């Protein structure tokens, strides 16, 4: 539970276990409560101390064995007062006194003429003013008698009207005493949220004796309630700086993280155990419903409905707070925006706006130049391509001109070869003739100079006839060769 | 003496502190000699022997079905911490530590007579209160009367063995 009192901010708190008790091991096996002693009709068990049972004229009390060794303190009490009927008696009292009181005394089971503080949870209406159950604080210096007939109103320091009887959850009280300021906060037991405390009373300038005893007492009268106290938790309060703070444990964050991991693992294991053993973990509420009468069920349903309404109201209140927060944020933003609206009309803003335009125009010009350069290069490439196309077109045209010729050549291949060979032969013949001519010219010159024998030389007719025979032989050979080649082709 | 504390858990540490303080207290020395049936040696041996058994019982009480062989040392420390955090506020206070000590020494009171039982219970309680006060003095770093998990782990695994003089004066 957090620190609810604003006055105690920055205070060092220390749990005092020697002035506390709590379940589930409140009482030892021998019935004693460590650091406490109880008497009268009080009964201590492992779960609670029944300070006064619901029988007529019962009184009981439980007190700390030792006096406190601290000046300021905060005590949290968790208790329950239950009884039949709309009116009960007599009440419960918290004590902080210089001496331990009685265990069967006249004031709610404890002594009168106490020296110190009493917080009284008075159930019965003795003065017929219809203002009970009432919670009050009464100071005494050991000289006054408690005015029971008037419910102590004449001696009252302060108080509040709170019904603490027959609540679905235990009632809680936080009694804080710090710097002579007494604060009592009450949890009315209508919800199981332990932080639903409300301020009951606050008193300044309260001088309590040092080093007192803590105690709880209760009494019943003609009407009788059960008075059970479950927790008594004492925390000592020290001014900041009075207590020397030690540095934090090493690896604090690592250990905290490790603790969370183990905690999650433990929760999983518990759930698995419940699944495996469903019978062992039956809730007590299931059993309670068996013994519920119709009227009780109707009242419980009404109470549940009202509890839900209260929850919704609380949630609506929280949402309204959020909306208010957002509204304030929006207003602050609007004010900031209004402040930001001033710079644009300033004179310096105008040239600043033009400079980016110039810069943009320059960049645009650069972009245009680069684009034009790219266009030029593209056009050049297109020209080259067009030139290539023209060249290829000319080649195609030339090929088309030669195409019919090629067809003829293909059919006249043999003829062409024959013609070529004939030309070669003719050339050879011409060469031979030229040689012969040269030789004839030379001998003619010699003949003119010297006479030749008439009977030994080759005649012109003989020479020509030999030439013709040679040509015929070459021609016949070529024809035979072509025919053999044709036959070879036919064969394949 | 303190080396043994590093081996074991909170209870063993408390008992070590108790035994340690026993050596310094003359009246306690007179009351409990080395031949006392709940003497130092027997107690330490019994705790070392039954440590696993106690943790197993605590795990069953918590409704956890876990095998001790599968647990690491850190997990055992966590379960020991969690088993005695009765109000589930993630911290151990003096009352919970008293119950932890008394719970683990219940066997000693089982076979005694009623009057002897009461006397022994009172003596044991005073003994454990003394030990717990010393332990809190050592382990409670921020002096809030509560022992949180990091403080608990540090105390169990060693680290500090001498109380702070200033804090001692303050108390």
Tell me what pLDDT residue A52 has.
Answer: 93
Beta carbons of A251 and B121 less than 8 Å apart: no
Mean pLDDT of A462-473: 88
Using an 8 Å Cβ cutoff, are B130 and B21 in contact? yes
Tell me what pLDDT residue A240 has.
Answer: 74
Beta carbons of B121 and A244 less than 8 Å apart: no
Lowest mean pLDDT among A36-50, A184-198, A362-376, B156-170: B156-170
3-class state of residue A450 by DSSP: coil
Q: At what angle do helices B40-62 and B73-83 cross, to 10 degrees?
A: 80
Q: How far apart are the first and last CA of chain A?
A: 114
Which range among A108-112, A124-128, B25-29 has the greatest average pLDDT?
A108-112
Residues of B in contact with A250 (CB under 8 A): 154, 159
Per DSSP, A153 falls in state G
Surface-to-core class of residue A73, CB atoms within 10 Å of its CB (0-12 exposed, 13-18 middle, 19+ buried): buried
User: How far does B70 lie from chain A, in Å, by closest CA?
Assistant: 13
Q: What are phi and psi of A53, to 5 degrees?
A: -80, 170
Cα nearest neighbour of A26 on chain B: B95
Residues of A in contact with B126 (CB under 8 A): none
Q: Of A269, A338, A140, which is closest to residue B65 (Cα–Cα)?
A: A269
How distant is the alpha carbon of residue A196 from its chain centre? 30
Lowest mean pLDDT among A318-322, A376-380, A456-460, A465-469: A456-460
**B18-42 pLDDT per residue, tens:** 655 544 434 444 433 443 343 333 3
Tell me what pLDDT residue B55 has.
Answer: 60
Lowest mean pLDDT among A258-272, A315-329, B81-95: A258-272
Please tell me the distance from the alpha carbon of residue A106 to that of residue A213, in angstroms, as a whole number: 19
Residues of A in contact with B159 (CB under 8 A): 250
Tell me what pLDDT residue B161 has.
Answer: 41
Lowest mean pLDDT among A215-229, A302-316, A462-476, B93-107: B93-107
**A181-204 pLDDT per residue, tens:** 999 989 888 887 777 788 898 898
| In chain B, where the domains are located | 50-157
Residues of A in contact with B106 (CB under 8 A): 29
Q: 3-state secondary structure string, A198-241?
A: EEEEEECCCCCCCCCEEEEEEECCCCCCEEEEEEEEEEEEECCC
- Model confidence at A87, in pLDDT bands (50, 70, 90)? confident
Beta carbons of A28 and B62 less than 8 Å apart: no
Tell me what pLDDT residue B12 has.
Answer: 60
Q: Of A191, A167, A187, A192, which is closest to residue A83 (Cα–Cα)?
A: A167
> What whole-number percentage of chain A has pLDDT above 90?
20
Half-sphere exposure at residue B112, Cβ-oriented, CA atoms within 13 angstroms: 16
User: How far does A325 lie from chain B, in Å, by closest CA?
Assistant: 33
Using an 8 Å Cβ cutoff, are A121 and A135 in contact? yes
Beta carbons of B82 and A266 less than 8 Å apart: yes
**A469-492 pLDDT per residue, tens:** 988 889 888 887 887 878 777 655
Q: Catalogue the E-assigned strands of A331-478.
A: none
State which fold the B50-157 domain adopts: Recoverin; domain 1 (1.10.238)
Tell me what pLDDT residue A60 has.
Answer: 95
Please tell me if residue B90 touches chain A, with a CB cutoff of 8 Å. Answer: yes
Residues 118-147 of B with CB under 8 A from A: 118, 121, 125, 129, 141-146
* Cis peptide upstream of residue B22 (ω within 30 degrees of 0): no
Which residue in B66, B93, B153 is closest to A269 by CB distance? B66
Please tell me if residue B45 touches chain A, with a CB cutoff of 8 Å. Answer: no
Please tell me if residue B60 touches chain A, with a CB cutoff of 8 Å. Answer: no
* A181 beta partners: A178
Please tell me if residue B74 touches chain A, with a CB cutoff of 8 Å. Answer: yes
Please tell me if residue B99 touches chain A, with a CB cutoff of 8 Å. Answer: yes
| B100, pLDDT greater than 70 | yes
> What whole-number percentage of chain B has pLDDT above 70?
39
Mean pLDDT of B58-77: 69
For residue B83, the surrounding DSSP H or E stretch is helix B73-83
Q: Catalogue the E-assigned strands of A210-363.
A: 213-219, 226-238
List b or e across A440-454, with b for residues whose CB sees 16 or more CB atoms inside 10 angstroms. Answer: eeeeeeeeeeeeeee
Using an 8 Å Cβ cutoff, are A177 and A208 in contact? yes
Interface test mutation site (partner A, options B64, B82, B84, B95, max chain A beta carbons within 10 A)? B95
Which residue in A28, A243, A247 is closest to B121 by CB distance? A28
Beta carbons of B154 and A273 less than 8 Å apart: no
Using an 8 Å Cβ cutoff, are A230 and A23 in contact? yes
Tell me what pLDDT residue A53 has.
Answer: 93
Residues of B in contact with A34 (CB under 8 A): 95, 98, 125, 129
- Model confidence at B81, in pLDDT bands (50, 70, 90)? confident
How distant is the alpha carbon of residue B158 from its chain centre? 14
Q: Which residue do the tokens 């921020």 mark?
A: B142
Beta carbons of A245 and B142 less than 8 Å apart: yes
Which residue in B94, B121, B125 is closest to A17 by CB distance? B94
Would you say the C-alpha torsion A37, A41, A42, A45 has a positive or negative sign? Answer: positive
List b or e across B52-61, with b for residues whose CB sees 16 or more CB atoms inside 10 angstroms. Answer: eebbeebbee
**B133-163 pLDDT per residue, tens:** 878 887 887 888 888 888 888 777 765 443 4
Beta carbons of A252 and B170 less than 8 Å apart: no
User: How far does B94 lie from chain A, in Å, by closest CA?
Assistant: 5
Tell me what pLDDT residue B13 has.
Answer: 60
Residues of A in contact with B87 (CB under 8 A): 22
Tell me what pLDDT residue A345 has.
Answer: 47
Tell me what pLDDT residue B4 has.
Answer: 47
Interface test mutation site (partner B, options A23, A170, A246, max chain B beta carbons within 10 A)? A246
> What whole-number percentage of chain A has pLDDT above 70?
80
Q: Which residues, 6 or more positions from A194, have their beta carbon under 8 angstroms from its beta carbon?
A: A1, A172, A187
Q: Which residues, 6 or more positions from A428, have their beta carbon under 8 angstroms from its beta carbon?
A: none
List b or e across A409-435, with b for residues whose CB sees 16 or more CB atoms inside 10 angstroms. Answer: eeeeeeeeebeeeeeeeeeeeeeeeee
Q: Of A149, A73, A59, A76, which is closest to residue A111 (Cα–Cα)?
A: A59
- Model confidence at A208, in pLDDT bands (50, 70, 90)? very high
> What DSSP assignment string belongs to A55-122?
STT-EEEEEESS----SEEEEEEEEEEE-SSS----EEEEEEESS---SSBTBTBB-SS-EEEEEEEE
Largest CA distance in chain A: 200
* A385 beta partners: none
Q: Of A232, A227, A230, A233, which is closest to residue A41 (Cα–Cα)?
A: A227
Residues of A in contact with B151 (CB under 8 A): 249
In the numeric block, which tokens belong to residue A454? 């008439």
Tell me what pLDDT residue A75 has.
Answer: 94
**A331-352 pLDDT per residue, tens:** 888 876 666 555 544 444 444 4
Please tell me if residue B87 touches chain A, with a CB cutoff of 8 Å. Answer: yes
User: How far does B130 lie from chain A, in Å, by closest CA?
Assistant: 12
User: How far does B67 lie from chain A, in Å, by closest CA?
Assistant: 12
Cα nearest neighbour of B151 on chain A: A249
Per DSSP, A185 falls in state E
**A396-426 pLDDT per residue, tens:** 777 776 665 555 545 555 677 778 878 788 8
Cα nearest neighbour of A234 on chain B: B145
Mean pLDDT of B74-101: 80
3-class state of residue A412 by DSSP: coil
More confident residue, A126 or B169: A126
| A72, pLDDT greater than 60 | yes
CB pairs under 8 A between A and B: 110
Tell me what pLDDT residue A177 has.
Answer: 93
3-class state of residue A372 by DSSP: helix
């Amino acid at each position: 539970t957090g620190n609810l009192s604003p006055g105690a901010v920055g205070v060092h708190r220390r749990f005092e276990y020697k002035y506390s008790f709590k379940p589930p091991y409140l009482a030892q096996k021998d019935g004693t409560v460590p650091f406490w002693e109880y008497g009268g009709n009080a009964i201590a068990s492992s779960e609670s101390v029944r300070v006064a049972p619901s029988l007529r004229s019962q009184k009981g009390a439980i007190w700390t064995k030792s006096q406190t060794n601290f000046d300021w303190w905060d005590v949290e009490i968790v208790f329950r007062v239950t009884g039949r009927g709309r009116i009960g008696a007599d009440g419960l009292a918290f004590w902080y006194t210089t001496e331990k009181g009685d265990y069967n005394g006249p004031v709610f089971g404890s002594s009168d003429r106490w020296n110190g503080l009493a917080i009284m949870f008075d159930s019965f209406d003795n003065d017929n003013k219809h203002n009970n159950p009432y919670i009050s604080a009464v100071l005494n210096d050991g000289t006054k008698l408690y005015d029971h007939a008037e419910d102590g109103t004449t001696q009252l320091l302060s108080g509040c009207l709170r019904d603490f009887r027959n609540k679905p959850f235990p009632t809680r009280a936080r009694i804080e005493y710090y710097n002579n300021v007494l604060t009592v906060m009450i949890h009315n037991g209508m919800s199981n949220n332990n932080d639903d405390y409300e301020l009951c009373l606050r008193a300044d300038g309260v001088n309590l004796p040092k080093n007192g005893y803590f105690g709880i007492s209760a009494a019943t009268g003609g009407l009788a309630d059960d008075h059970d106290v479950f927790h008594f938790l004492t925390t000592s309060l020290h001014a900041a700086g009075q207590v020397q703070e030690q540095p934090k444990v090493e690896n604090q964050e690592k250990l905290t993280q490790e603790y969370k991991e183990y905690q999650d693992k433990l929760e999983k294991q518990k759930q698995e155990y419940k699944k495996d053993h469903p019978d062992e973990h039956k809730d007590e509420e299931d059993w309670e419903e068996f013994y519920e009468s119709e009227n009780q069920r109707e009242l419980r349903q009404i109470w549940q409905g009202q509890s839900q309404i209260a929850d919704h109201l609380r949630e609506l209140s929280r949402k309204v707070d959020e909306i208010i927060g957002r509204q304030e944020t929006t207003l602050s933003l609007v004010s900031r925006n209004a402040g930001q609206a001033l710079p644009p009309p300033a004179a310096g803003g105008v040239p600043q706006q033009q400079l980016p335009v110039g810069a943009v125009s320059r960049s645009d010009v650069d972009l245009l130049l680069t684009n034009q350069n790219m266009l030029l290069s593209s056009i050049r490439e297109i020209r080259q391509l067009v030139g290539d196309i023209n060249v290829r077109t000319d080649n195609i045209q030339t090929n088309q001109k030669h195409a019919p010729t090629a067809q003829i050549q293909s059919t006249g291949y043999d003829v062409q070869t024959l013609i070529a060979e004939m030309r070669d032969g003719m050339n050879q013949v011409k060469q031979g003739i030229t040689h012969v001519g040269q030789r004839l010219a030379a001998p003619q010159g010699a003949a003119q100079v010297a006479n030749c024998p008439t009977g030994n030389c080759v005649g012109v007719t003989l020479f020509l006839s030999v030439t013709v025979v040679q040509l015929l032989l070459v021609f016949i050979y070529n024809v035979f060769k072509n025919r053999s080649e044709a036959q070879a082709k036919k064969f394949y | 003496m303190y080396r043994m504390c590093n081996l074991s858990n909170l209870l063993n540490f408390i008992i070590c502190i108790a035994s340690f303080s026993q050596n310094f207290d003359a009246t306690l020395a007179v009351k409990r000699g080395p031949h006392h049936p709940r003497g130092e040696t027997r107690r330490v041996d019994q705790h070392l022997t039954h440590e696993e058994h106690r943790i197993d019982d605590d795990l069953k009480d918590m409704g956890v079905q876990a095998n001790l062989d599968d647990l690491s040392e850190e997990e055992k420390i966590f379960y020991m911490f969690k088993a005695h955090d009765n109000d589930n506020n993630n911290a151990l206070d003096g009352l919970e530590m008293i119950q932890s000590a008394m719970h683990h020494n219940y066997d000693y009171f089982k076979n005694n007579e009623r009057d002897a039982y009461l006397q022994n219970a009172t003596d044991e309680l005073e003994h454990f209160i003394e030990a717990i006060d010393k332990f809190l003095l050592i382990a409670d770093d921020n002096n809030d009367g509560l022992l949180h998990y990091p403080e608990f782990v540090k105390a169990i695994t060693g680290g500090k063995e001498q109380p702070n003089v200033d804090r001692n004066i303050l108390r």
